[in-house]
Amino acid sequence: MNEILRAIYSSIIDGEQKVTTAKVQEALDQGTEPSAILNEGMVAAMAEVGKLFEEGEYFVPEMLVAARAMQSGLAMLKPYLVKADVKSSGKVVAGTVKGDLHDIGKNLVCMMLEGSAFEVIDLGSDVDPDKFVEAVHQTNADIVAMSALLTTTMPNMKVTIEALKAAGLRDKVKVLVGGAPLTQQYANEIGADGYAPDASRAVATAKSLIAA
Ligand code: B1M
């Protein structure tokens, strides 16, 4: 990792939001690839924050300031990840499931989808199953994209799929799921149509779901 990426990495771990934004700008000015800033500097830092939390070195406040630094860096990368395109690839209703406040991965997935010309209706985090249903009704979406970061909230994906069924919408919409604790096997078990382990594969899977 070069010096500027290391500085971004450290600033996120230390939760130094101002340093993160300054260093991301510096990296962009130097011509560093946005994908390197994202993956090597920022995503890697959040993985380390998770490790420190697991080891009892970090607590929720430290995770929170790191998340704020990450979000501000992500906002600066957005124009580079989201390019305008004329033809819509499809309409996606996205959200983090009920009970789950983790939205960084979901935001990244939304940005990458927008970058591939998907129209994204982002419902945010802690999204009630009924809100997903209502949004699909209102927007006629092609895909429901759900994210979960907690093992305790993963079951709410199944609850949402059941709510879509109960509303008679399950045949009209594809369901794409992802998030750190998920697996392809879990996605199969809950009856999702697609699973992706990261944001770029979420885009590829969304495209193949539309094509199918
Ligand atoms: Co929390 N947290 N957290 N947290 N947090 C984790 C998830 C945890 C693994 C940390 C740990 O113990 N190592 C752990 C979960 C353990 C478990 O369930 N087994 C945990 C815990 C326990 C908690 C609390 C319960 C802590 C507490 O209160 N005691 C609490 C729960 C709050 C709640 O949600 N109700 C909590 C709170 C928080 C903060 C609010 C402080 C903050 C979130 C802020 C925010 O998001 N705005 C936070 C953070 C930052 C984390 C870690 C450190 C980082 C998550 C992150 O943003 N990663 C996380 C540890 C870790 O993940 N290693 C942790 C970066 C992001 C880019 O990755 O979200 O995985 P990720 O997204 C990836 C892929 O997963 C995938 O693509 C993304 C990019 O490639 N992906 C999809 C995600 N969604 C997808 C959807 C798709 C496809 C792919 O299709 C639709």
Q: What are the φ and ψ backbone dihedral angles of 95, each rounded to 5 degrees? A: -175, 160
> What CATH number corresponds to the domain at position 36?
1.10.1240.10
Cβ–Cβ under 8 Å, residues 143 and 93: yes
* Structure confidence at residue 141 (pLDDT): 98
* Structure confidence at residue 208 (pLDDT): 96
User: Do residue 72 and residue 126 come from a single domain?
Assistant: no
* Structure confidence at residue 86 (pLDDT): 52
The whole-angstrom separation of Cα 162 and Cα 164 is 5
Pocket-forming residues, ligand 1, beta carbon under 6 Å: 43, 46-47, 49-50, 53-54, 60, 63-64, 67, 99-106, 108-109, 145-147, 149-151, 176-181, 196, 198-199, 202
Sheet of 174-178, strand order: 118-122, 90-96, 143-147, 174-178, 194-195
Number of the ligand 1 atom closest to the C-alpha atom of 94: 91
- Ranges of residues in the chain with a pLDDT under 50 are none
* Structure confidence at residue 88 (pLDDT): 78
Could you tell me the CA-to-CA distances from 158 to 27, 154, 173 in Å, in that order?
A: 41, 8, 15
User: Do residue 138 and residue 172 come from a single domain?
Assistant: yes
Ligand 1 mutation target, pool 149, 184, 210, most atoms within 8 A of CB: 149
User: Do residue 134 and residue 203 come from a single domain?
Assistant: yes
Ligand 1 mutation target, pool 38, 63, 173, most atoms within 8 A of CB: 63
Q: Give the domain range for residue 103.
A: 90-211
Domains in the chain: how many in total? Answer: 2
Number of the ligand 1 atom closest to the C-alpha atom of 101: 34
What are 47's two structure tokens? 């993985």
User: Do residue 143 and residue 106 come from a single domain?
Assistant: yes
* Structure confidence at residue 107 (pLDDT): 93
Residue with CA nearest ligand 1 atom 58: 46
| Last residue of one domain, picked from the residues 34, 53, 83 | 83
| Ligand 1 centroid from CA 32, angstroms | 27
C-alpha torsion angle, residues 141, 119, 196, 191 (rounded to 10): 0
Number of the ligand 1 atom closest to the C-alpha atom of 67: 50
User: Do residue 113 and residue 194 come from a single domain?
Assistant: yes
> What CATH number corresponds to the domain at position 174?
3.40.50.280
Which has the closest alpha carbon to 19: 39, 45, 54, 48? 45
Residue with CA nearest ligand 1 atom 18: 150
* Structure confidence at residue 83 (pLDDT): 63
| Last residue of one domain, picked from the residues 61, 83, 105 | 83
| Last residue of one domain, picked from the residues 83, 101, 125 | 83
What are 42's two structure tokens? 């920022």
pLDDT (tens digit, 9 = 90+) per residue, 73-100? 999 998 888 765 557 789 999 999 999 9
| Ligand 1 centroid from CA 179, angstroms | 8
